[in-house]
Structure 1
Amino acid sequence: MLTVNSLRFAVAGLAVLLTSSLAACGGETTDSAGTAAAGPGSAGGPVTVFAAASLTESFTTLGKQFESAHPGSTVTFNFGGSSALATQINEGAPADVFASAAPKNMQAVTDAGTPTTFVRNQLVIAVGKGNPQGVTGLTDLTKPDLKVALCADAVPCGAATKTATTAAGVTITPVTLEQDVKAALAKVKLGEVDAALVYRTDAKASAADIDAIEFPESATAMNDYPIAVLKTARNPAGGQAFVDYVLSAEGTKVLIEAGFQAP
């Protein structure tokens, strides 16, 4: 006959067995509602992406789509000039993925993994709506009465500008040098300058506020955009899943619609 004490020992032993069995079934944890929670290495966990400023609109869209395709995932972006982002990463800023507007800045990141070029971009001249100054090409930007904003040489849009102006044989004296392409474009939108050299994608995103003037020398200054999962990624699985999504048919569709070109 079972005594009270022996019954207690039997129940306790069964509880231990059940706990051990559940632990052996995998590393998933559950929240108070019993839903499996993604671990830090899961594609469903938080993903931090450092991306060139010119990717702001398209990557914001891709981030929302990625979260829908990967329930439980959250994507956090840090947009800025590629050179500044590379410096932040090298100084220890936490990031899982880096998407640069030029290979040079990707190469500067000591912890970059194997990069993949996913799109290309091209410069245009951004002017006020209706092109009040009648700008038709780079030569017009050399006029002394025209106020022009350019990107600093250290950032990809600045390096591309230098290549294009050298090809055209012109020297532009800007009234301001900006640290990313969005800042240069903002000067035109605010009416602080008459023109700026920006990426075609940024001009397209702001088509309601500015006009874009194409110029032939931009073909000599195409920028390749590489993307990579960082070796120091806190969530390498999530980072790789995001990169894969950017490279997928869905990701490519968003990027091409934004004005980027296939590599």
Structure 2
Amino acid sequence: MPTRRTPLAVTPARVRTVAAGSAALLALTACSSSAESDGAGSEVSGTVTVFAAASLKESFTELGERFEERYPGTQVTFSFGGSDSLAASITGGAPADVFAAAGPSTMAVVRDADATAGAPVTFVRNQLQIATLPGNPDRITSLKDLTRPGLKVVLCDKEVPCGSAAQKALDSGGVKLTPVSYEQDVKGALMKVQLKEADAALVYRTDVKAAGDKVQGVSFPESAEAINDYPIAVLKDARNAEAARAFITLVRSAEGRRVLTEAGFLQP
């Protein structure tokens, strides 16, 4: 007759062993899933250098701090400025891992130089506002108001994305404007208003929001015709490609989107 196998006794000790094994397996699976969702695993370490448009300064600085908390032992260093000058630095050989531009045309300079690793992706959009002194003492309500005699207006340089967007908005409204100065980036244009060296400036709404009560923003309909897409990419000569990919993953994650949306950016 076939031998009958005696059922294995399930003791409390065995239950604990099985439970512990299951918990360990679940923990391992969770860690693996987390690493996959971050786009990187334990290899993320060292310094990641990010070149980013000046308008990203506040939100990227916060994301950099979150990145360092998520990956102990890492460090994020930033170079903020006009997208055109950053692109020129990259194509000139400046060491960087990530480039985030305020417009596709500037990113195209880097891509056409074969300096990106893969196709750039758009992660946010931005829209212009008129920045005025607090309380809007000149009662500026439209683009045409910026042409009033004696009113000092500042624009970004035409070569940088905020400058080209401003020109597009002015053309859309049929407004001809001669500024008192052209600034190299959006922060420079905004600073002219904050220092009361200008009465108004065409800047991004994110920069108006970041300035708090130091300026006041005025929306205008023509800005809808000049919304800028912001692309981001890992650079081909990145010294820390793994960390670069992980940083971009954070920027594009739900957490990253919350930080950027709170700063006033629009989702693509």
Equivalent of 1:112 in 102, 116, 132: 116
Matched, 1:46 2:50: no
Contact 1:139 1:170 in 2 (8 A): yes
User: The residue matched to 2:84 in structure 1 has which SS?
Assistant: helix
Counterpart amino acid of 1:112?
Answer: T
1:137 aligns with 2:138: no
Instruction: Indicate whether 1:59 and 2:64 are aligned.
Output: no
Q: Which amino acid aligns with 2:210?
A: A
Query: In 2, Cα distance between the equivalents of 1:72 and 1:80?
Result: 27
The answer for the alignment partner of 2:17 in structure 1 is: none
Q: Which runs of 5+ in 2 are unaligned?
A: 1-41
Q: Which residue of 1 aligns with 2:206?
A: 201
Superposition deviation, residue 144 in structure 1: 2.0
> Which position in structure 2 is the counterpart of 1:15?
none
Cross-structure match for 1:23: none
Report the secondary structure of 1:50's partner residue: strand
SS at structure 2 position matched to 1:46 = strand
Q: Give the counterpart of 1:154 among 150, 153, 159.
A: 159
In the TM superposition, what is the alpha-carbon distance from 1:207 to its structure 2 partner?
2.1
> Percent identity, aligned pairs only?
59
Q: Is the 8 A contact 1:106 1:112 kept in 2?
A: no
Q: How far apart, in 2, do the equivalents of 1:42 and 1:83 lie? A: 32
Q: Secondary structure at the match of 1:56?
A: helix
- 1:169-228 deviation digits (Å, cap 9, x = unpaired): 001110010010000000000000000000000000012100000000000000000000
Q: Does 1:246 align with 2:251?
A: yes
Compute the RMSD of aligned alpha carbons: 0.9
Unaligned ranges ≥5, structure 1:
1-40
Q: Is the 8 A contact 1:129 1:209 kept in 2?
A: yes
1:142 is matched by which residue type in structure 2?
T
Q: Secondary structure at the match of 1:84?
A: helix
In the alignment, the residues of structure 1 paired with residue 226 and residue 203 of structure 2 have an alpha-carbon distance, to the nearest angstrom, of 12
Displacement of 1:45 in angstroms is: 1.4
Partner of 1:9: none
CA distance in 1, matches of 2:70, 2:205: 29
The alignment status of 1:78 with 2:83, answered yes or no, reads no
Residue 29 of structure 1 aligns with which residue? Answer: none
Write the deviation string for residues 64-115 of structure 1: whole angstroms up to 9, x where unpaired: 0000011111000000000000000000000000000001111101202320
1:226 is paired with a residue whose SS is strand
Within 5 Å, which residues of 2 pair with 1:10-29? none
1:189 aligns with 2:185: no
Distance in 1 between residues matched to 2:220 and 2:44, nearest whole Å: 42
Is 1:126 matched up with 2:140? no
Give 1:143 deviation, angstroms.
1.1
The residue type equivalent to 2:155 in the other structure is: L
Structure 1 residue runs of 4 or more that deviate by more than 3 Å after TM superposition: none
1:44 shift after superposition: 1.6
Q: 1:150 touches 1:177 (CA, 8 Å); kept in 2?
A: yes
Identify the residue that residue 12 of structure 2 maps to in structure 1. Answer: none
Between the aligned partners of 2:65 and 2:212, the Cα distance in structure 1 is 23
Distance in 2, matches of 1:124 and 1:190, equals 18
Give distance in 1, aligned partners of 2:132 and 2:102.
Answer: 22
Matched residue, 2:89: 88
State whether residues 126 and 196 of structure 1, in contact with CA within 8 Å, keep that contact through their aligned partners in structure 2: yes
Partners in 2 of 1:163 and 1:131 — Cα distance?
A: 24
TM-score (norm 2): 0.82
